[in-house]
Amino acid sequence: MQQTIEQPSQQEQQASSVSISQRGWWKRKEIQKKNRHKETPLDIFDATRTEPESFYERAIEWTHRADKIINLILGYFLAVASVLGFMDVLSNGEVLGHVPFLFYIWLLIMGLGVDFQILLVIGRVPDLARMVGHPVGKWILVMFNIAFLAFLAYVSIVIGAVFTQHRDVPGTIAQAMGILGINSTNFVYERAALATFLLILMAIDRTMERWRMQIAASNRQQQQGDVQVQHEERQEQVSSASQTEQRVQTSELTQVIQAMQEMNAQNLAALHTMNDKAMQQFSQVTVELVRETIERTVATIMLPGATPQTLAVPARTSQNAHNRRQSISQEGEQQRSQERDTEAMSALEKPERGEQDMRYYGELIETMYRGNNNLTVTEIVDQVGCSRSTASKWLKRVKPVEA
């Protein structure tokens, strides 16, 4: 029977554990789905930016940051180059005529601005794709960057081909372009348009980078606010839990105090009851002792008034003594001892009365002995009510006189 009972209990435990694990799995799935819905492209973008650990990863991170810094500087350089070209055109070549080295600076800026942008555009496309959340906008941005990258590559290819042709076959650049079948006029326009587009793109890139930083800062603030709210909620929960525990402890302490008070009240009531009973018993015993003492005293006082004829009749005296002994023998030993102590105390307190009682005891014992020569101490004590020492003393005094 125990095995049959244990087997269903084990099966129930296994089933409960399986159900609990399934519930936990479904809860985790629901939480993951909610988190996926809550995630934004900017959050994903921020989450992918991890701290590098190896030297290679650190180098990649450094070059990426260097590209961004160079891109920021190249924007200003391209703007300066555009201003130089504008000034030279408006001055009819006077600027470069007076300052010829500015032309080489303009060429360096244009070369860096065009050729170096190939690296920057390739590195910028993934970041921009992560920043844009809408899929249509993301594809438009990617396609625009790819087209611009193709335009940059086309210009670089033309420049490289013309440079190589001019190196192999000495002559002018126009002759090299003519041999390669490139329209020099169109190339000049394309080059100028590319420089202008690069300047616009750098401005847009700077604006988007600043916008991304602002959004990242707002996201961090929002996350900090969420963390603070969660922390406050946890503190509220902890405080509420502590208050609940304090209330429970206070209620438990109150219950314990009430129980202790009830127990103390019960104990006090029991003590009062016991004291009342003890006082009642003590008062009853005291009243009985006083009553017996008074009765004994009254009996003692009334005995001397008896006539000598009644005392002289031996038969009647013996009969009365026998009846008195039977009535007195029914009393307890404790009452007799208490009565003797009471009589002794009264005798000590009243010496004159004690002397009278002693003389009375002597006369009474002498009368009893005349009526009964076989009188004993016990009979004297039972009949007269004196102590054994008094009865023995007077009995010894009476016997020699009769002898």
Question: Who wins on pLDDT, 307 or 96?
Answer: 96
Whether pLDDT at 19 is above 80: no
User: Which pLDDT score, from 0 to 100, does residue 53 have?
Assistant: 66
Q: Which amino acid is at 99?
A: V
HSE-CB at 348 with a 13 A cutoff on CA atoms is 5
Q: Considering the chain, what percentage of its residues have pLDDT values greater than 90? A: 0
In Å, how far from its chain's centre is CA 115?
65
CA distance 115 to 122: 12
The predicted-structure confidence for 95-110, as pLDDT tens digits, reads as follows 878 888 888 888 888 7
Q: Per-domain residue ranges for the chain?
A: 23-215, 311-402
For 183-190, what is the mean pLDDT? Answer: 83
Task: Of 332, 328, 402, 392, give the one whose Cα is nearest residue 362.
Answer: 392
Confidence of residue 1 (pLDDT cuts 50, 70, 90): very low
The predicted-structure confidence for 126-168, as pLDDT tens digits, reads as follows 776 776 667 787 788 778 878 888 888 888 888 888 888 878 8
Whether pLDDT at 184 is above 70: yes
Whether pLDDT at 193 is above 80: yes
Q: Nearest 5 degrees, angle CA 138-CA 140-CA 144? A: 120
Element (H, E) at 95: helix 94-98
User: Which pLDDT score, from 0 to 100, does residue 234 have?
Assistant: 84
Whether pLDDT at 326 is above 70: no
Q: Is the pTM of this model over 0.75?
A: no
The predicted-structure confidence for 287-302, as pLDDT tens digits, reads as follows 777 777 777 776 666 5
The predicted-structure confidence for 227-247, as pLDDT tens digits, reads as follows 888 888 888 888 887 777 777
Would you state the structure tokens that stand for residue 399, as one six-digit string?
Answer: 């016997």
Helices (H), 303-387: 308-312, 314-329, 333-349, 351-371, 377-384
Confidence of residue 308 (pLDDT cuts 50, 70, 90): very low
Tokens 């001019």 belong to which residue?
Answer: 166
User: Which pLDDT score, from 0 to 100, does residue 306 have?
Assistant: 43
CA distance 113 to 121: 11
The predicted-structure confidence for 327-348, as pLDDT tens digits, reads as follows 444 444 555 555 555 554 454 4
Task: Of 305, 306, 299, give the one whose Cα is nearest residue 339.
Answer: 299
Question: Who wins on pLDDT, 281 or 18?
Answer: 281
Please give the backbone phi and psi of residue 181, each rounded to the nearest 5 degrees, phi first: 75, 25
Least confident of 66-75, 307-316, 393-402: 307-316
